[in-house]
Chains A and B, each alone.
Chain A
Amino acid sequence: MSSVILPSAPSESRPGRFGIYGGRYVPETLMAALQELEREYEIAKADADFQQELADLLRDFAGRPTPLYFAKRLTEDLGGAKIYLKREDLLHTGAHKINNALGQGLLAKRMGKKRIIAETGAGQHGVATATVCALLGLECVIYMGEVDMARQELNVLRMRLLGAEVRGVSSGSKTLKDAISEAMRDWVTNVRTTYYILGSALGAHPYPTIVRDFQRCISLEMKEQILEREGRLPDAVVACVGGGSNAIGAFYEFIPDRDVRLIGVEAGGRGTALGEHAARFSGGVPGVLQGTFSYVLQDDNGQIALTHSVSAGLDYASVGPEHAMLHDTGRAEYTSCDDARALEAVVKLARTEGILPALESAHAVAEALRLAPTMNPHDILVVNLSGRGDKDMGIIAQELKLEGATSLRG
């Protein structure tokens, strides 16, 4: 980390900066589009009609508010903190991604853009974007790494059924990072007519702020619901962190509440060597990837490292810049969970609560399984269950067979 010199003077007050992180590092061609987006978003944000239209769609189309569910059997089984699950998995299209896709889709329509592009890792953002484009009558192209297309085949089919064109990306690691690069290349080329719906709280300013604002509804609801149920705030909120959109959504309203621990869980993959995981905070150093300054998994020469996770949605070499700030200031803690523990967590939640979590969300569940028994029975732990596991059934079946499913007794 000592070899890294900041690209410009850090300033909390500069727009798009989270402490020293964030900023805007893109080819010049995109600057006008980013400035236009920043401008239009500020106007939309203050527009009551826009906010009302979004609120209506979130309620009637997406299914908000999502329940805060007390996981009674899991709590009894673990014998520690009370575990609540924020059920983003119950949303239309099966994950929190629809919150952001609806917000940005409305923004794109407002800006008069008829063509939408997006990238997707696990497919959830791609499905959410394809869904919103169908709803709003917009042309839709989704970029997806070929490795991810193979492991998330069901979501590829869903996107195509919804009318989107899915373009496979065969460069680099053939995963999310490469899909983002291809989407950015498309945007550079078609910037005058195309809106890029970025799927996580990363990339160049204003995306990390826009995505966080559209995901903030998670912690707003969480706070209201836990106060109603328990009369007090939780002791800890746990969420998985790929790009970090569900986690920043789940953390944001609790940031001023210093007594609430915020715990992000990265993909530990299958080992600690570079290329075997996607744990940016333990294995990365600050750098610039795809438009933003944040923690990046890279080699000594500044080349971006390949990553691995059983979960396509967490398999990314960088992390949203606001998380980088929360990490450095100590406001949030970041840990990791390996592939095996994530798979165990899938089985555990399935058999105690009848809920199949997405592999991404299972990383957060695994941390709860570890943490809850160390806490007191009156403590409260909220897990953001960011998505459901239907899309992962193929991979879960395959992996559990390899691991020996009978050893994973609920």
Chain B
Amino acid sequence: MPIRFDQKPGLVVYITAGDPSLDASRAIAIEAIDAGADVIELGIPFSDPLGDGPIIQRASERALSRGVKLADVLEVARAIRAARPQAGLILFTYLNPILRYGLARFADDAKAAGADGVLVIDMVVEESAEYLREMDRTGLAPVFLAAPTSSDERLEAIAGHSRGFVYAISRTGITGKQQSMTADASALVDRIHRWSKLPVAVGFGISNADHVAQVAEFAEAAVIGSAIVELIERSTPETAPGAVARFIKGLRQSSTALAR
């Protein structure tokens, strides 16, 4: 299972599959890995992404308007895995597209496509018995979210059921860029570390090298989402992979320098 963070800080890079096109998503992911991403979080677009902010919501709308389906996203995953077997690959989505596809079928096909894990934003540990059985059966890593509002009891369950890494939400709120990291994030990561030895990746609002360097002080990895998706939105399908690669290289270099 290649979910691991060899560099400090590790980088998880989110892209919405099919935005701007399936081919471009594959190319962006490969370039991102080559530029220093440890894990790719590949988003399966959903019509009603209530955990996401406007940037990722627009990306989902663009992908859906081009007819992107869950099966297409699995093909993109397969292509990324074939081209870059060393990187981690997580599928990110909402529950309903998976239920409609069939939970067991989804687990089988995601595993066959080469995914390492799955993150379902509206799946909480209490409701996840059957989901966890399927993840366990196929060897996929279930990644759960932990929030600053989660109680210690919940964090224990979240850490206990997560595999690969725990995703710590840096603040209350939806996905999107923010000005500065809040104190919420480091306190949350400390609390998660009490319950688990898994790496913790901090996400929601991480958009520049300063943020990544700050995260490196208290967590194993940072998740970059909306900043990447916005960059893709401003690029053409041809220029997007290069633009994302340059952004990640810049983050990697300056955040490492800042962290020293």
A positions within 8 Å CB-CB of B: 3-9, 23-33, 35, 171-172, 177-178, 181, 184-185, 188-192, 285-291, 296, 298, 300-304
Contact = CB atoms under 8 A, between A and B. Distances in A.
What 3 pairs between A and B have smallest CB-CB spacing? A302-B100, A302-B97, A189-B173
Interface residues of B, number: 46
B100 A188 contact: no
B50 to A, nearest CB: 4
B50 A303 contact: no
Nearest to B169: A29
Given A5-B102, A188-B174, A290 B48 contact: yes
Given A25-B122, A302-B99, A181 B50 contact: yes
A48 B47 CA distance: 44
Given A3-B102, A24-B126, A290-B48, 15 more contacts: A5-B99, A5-B104, A7-B128, A29-B148, A29-B173, A31-B150, A35-B151, A189-B174, A190-B172, A192-B172, A287-B100, A288-B95, A289-B48, A298-B96, A301-B70
B124 A31 contact: yes
B47 A8 contact: no
B79 interface: no
A286 B104 CA distance: 17
Contact of A288 (B70, B96, B151, B172): B96
A8 B102 contact: no
B96 A302 contact: yes
Contact of A27 (B104, B129, B145): B145
B102 A28 contact: no
Contacts of B174: 185, 188-189
Contacts of B98: 302
A288 B122 contact: yes
Given A6-B130, A8-B129, A27 B50 contact: yes
Nearest to A36: B149
B124 A24 contact: yes
Interface string B119-142: 001111011111100000000000
B70 to A, nearest CB: 6
| Residue of A3, A32, A302 most packed against chain B (CB within 10 A) | A302
A289 B53 CA distance: 17
B48 A29 contact: no
Contacts, number: 138
Contact of A32 (B47, B122, B154): B154
A9 B51 CA distance: 25
Nearest to B100: A302
Contacts of B173: 29, 188-189
Contacts of A287: 96, 99-100
Interface in B82-136: 94-104, 121-124, 126-131
Contacts of A8: 127-131
A27 B102 contact: no
A171 to B, nearest CB: 7
9 contacts: A7-B99, A8-B129, A23-B127, A26-B122, A27-B122, A181-B48, A185-B53, A185-B174, A302-B101
Interface string B137-181: 000000011111111001000100000000001001110000000
